[in-house]
Amino acid sequence: MSPSPDRQVAQFFRIDDVPPAILSEPAPLRGCSGRLLSHNPDTGQRTASVEIPAGWSGPVGGDGGTLELVILEGSLTIDGRQLGAGGFMAVPTGCAPLAVSCHRPARGVAIWSPHFAPGDYYDSRPRIVRAVELPWEPTVFPAELQAPGRLHGVWSKSLRLPDPVRGDVHGGPKGLLRIVNLVSGFVGDHRQESHPGCWEEIIWLSGDFFMPGTGRQAAGSYVGNPSHHRHGPLLTQQGCILLVHTDAPADFCFHDPPIPASLISAYMEGVSWLEAPRHMRLPHGPPWGSSPSEAARTAGLAPSRAC
Ligand SMILES: [Fe+2]
């Protein structure tokens, strides 16, 4: 399946496989090169991988929407402050534009939300932070609420504020944006999950990940999960860091049957610790050994559209 920005369809692709194009949106970054990763034609919200050339400068902000930008390489000067890889800028709807310039070619992920009203997020004030300076906050993965004592290991940094957690529902009224760290050995649940109330997209920033039905994820992988789309279980051998974005509060639903233990161990013990994580499409399970793969097919772990 070719990469598509259609949020109604489950997506799994490598960001660099999306052909670059000159961006017309978000307006503040018009003229920069980028790759459109997802788009909601109803709200106008779009997510893009952007490349900002050295020498670029312009005012960023205004009345047209909220721009959020995560810098992954290079550096920008934002309102007099220099930010490099791991820097984050949010310019909410209605705030005064910021002066932004680029001295070292920068690449990052931009989210443009024209449907965000003034006051939806950030108390209507720009947020400019280095992610490394934000504390990792422990996050209770919803499966843990259902199975006390289950292995935990989710740490998060909230980029979009406010980012409330109410029981097992996460994020503000128009969605969350977090950097998430899954620790080595994390298994989210032994079942697939879905999010009835939101669409979510995940961009891998580092580490390894395996999700039956898609395959293996690594830095530069992209997954889009429409509402009700079953996905998972979520496994990481070495740990990984993700950028997670939703368009509404994230709720969780888990689906039997559980994944076979043999499939978990096939990934956790079958992949070399010396191997660099890489993106790989594996719709029916891992390729090493026939039994785990067969177990995955028997368990019906291929993606399903219904909740
Ligand atoms: Fe999910």
Nearest to 110 by CA among 58, 173, 63, 45: 45
pLDDT at residue number 145: 57
* Residues 137-298, CATH architecture: Sandwich (2.60)
CA–CA distance, 160 with 167 (Å, rounded to integer):
19
The Cα 131–Cα 108 span in angstroms is 13
Q: Ligand 1 centroid to 279 CA: how many Å? A: 18
Integer Cα distance of 237 and 156 in angstroms: 18
Q: Which of 40, 61, 71 is nearest to 243 (CA)?
A: 71
Q: How far is the CA of 200 from the centre of ligand 1 (A)?
A: 7
> Do 11-132 and 137-298 have matching folds?
yes
Q: Please state, for a pLDDT cut of 90, what percent of the chain lies above it.
A: 69
Partners of 42 in beta bridges: none
Q: Is the dihedral of CA 160, 165, 171, 177 positive or negative?
A: positive
Dihedral of CA 27/28/33/36: which sign? negative
pLDDT of residue 84: 97
100 C-alpha to ligand 1 centroid (Å): 34
Residue 119 backbone class (left: φ over 0; alpha: ψ -120 to 50; beta: rest): left
- Distance from the CA of 225 to the center of ligand 1, in angstroms? 7
Give the three-class secondary structure for 131: helix
The residues pairing with 88 across neighbouring beta strands, listed in sequence order, are 70, 129
Tokens of 10: 């489950």
- 252 CA distance to ligand 1 centroid (A)? 8
Q: How far is the CA of 230 from the centre of ligand 1 (A)?
A: 8
C-alpha 268/C-alpha 76 separation (Å) is: 39
Structure tokens belonging to residue 287: 């390729």
Q: Which CATH superfamily is domain 11-132 in?
A: Jelly Rolls (2.60.120.10)
Q: Is the pLDDT of residue 200 over 50?
A: yes
Distance 272 CA to ligand 1 centre (A): 26
What band does 302 get if pLDDT is binned at 50, 70 and 90? very low
pLDDT tens string 107-159: 999 999 999 999 999 999 999 999 999 999 988 777 655 565 565 689 999 99
28 Cα–ligand 1 center, Å: 30
d(CA 222, CA 6): 13
Q: Is the dihedral angle over the CA atoms 97, 98, 101, 107 positive or is it negative?
A: negative
Q: How far apart are CA 208 and CA 238, in angstroms?
A: 6
Ligand 1 center from residue 66 Cα (angstroms): 24
Determine the distance separating the centroid of ligand 1 and the alpha carbon of 231, expressed in angstroms: 7
- Ligand 1 center–CA 54 separation, angstroms: 36
Q: Write the pLDDT tens digit of every residue in 33-44.
A: 999 999 999 999
Give me ligand 1 centre to Cα 233, in Å: 9
CA-to-CA distance for 143 and 191, rounded, in angstroms?
A: 9
Task: Compute, in angstroms, the gap from residue 194 CA to the centroid of ligand 1.
Answer: 6
CA of 97 from ligand 1 middle (Å) equals 34
Residue pair 12/223 in contact by the 8 Å Cβ criterion: yes
Using the mean position of ligand 1's atoms as its centre, give its distance from the Cα of residue 63 in Å: 32
Task: Please give the distance, rounded to the nearest whole angstrom, from the Cα atom of residue 99 to the centre of ligand 1.
Answer: 36
Q: Residues 45, 46, 47, 49: is their CA dihedral positive or negative?
A: negative
CA of 302 to the centre of ligand 1 (A): 15
Kindly list the distances between the CA atom of residue 49 and the CA atoms of 21, 109, 110, 169, in Å, as whole numbers in the listed order. Answer: 10, 5, 6, 28
pTM of the model: 0.91
Cα(14) to centroid of ligand 1, in Å? 18
Q: Hey, is 122 helix, strand or coil?
A: helix
Q: Which of the pair, 86 or 103, is modelled with greater confidence?
A: 86
For 208-251, the pLDDT digits (tens) are: 999 888 889 999 999 999 999 999 888 999 999 999 999 999 99
Question: What average pLDDT score do residues 189-214 get?
Answer: 93
The domains of the chain are located at 11-132, 137-298
Q: What's the confidence (pLDDT) of residue 291?
A: 45
Going from the C-alpha of 185 to that of each of 32, 151, 229, 267, the distances in angstroms are: 39, 9, 24, 10
Nearest residue to 285 via CA among 241, 247, 233, 225: 233
pLDDT mean across residues, the chain: 88
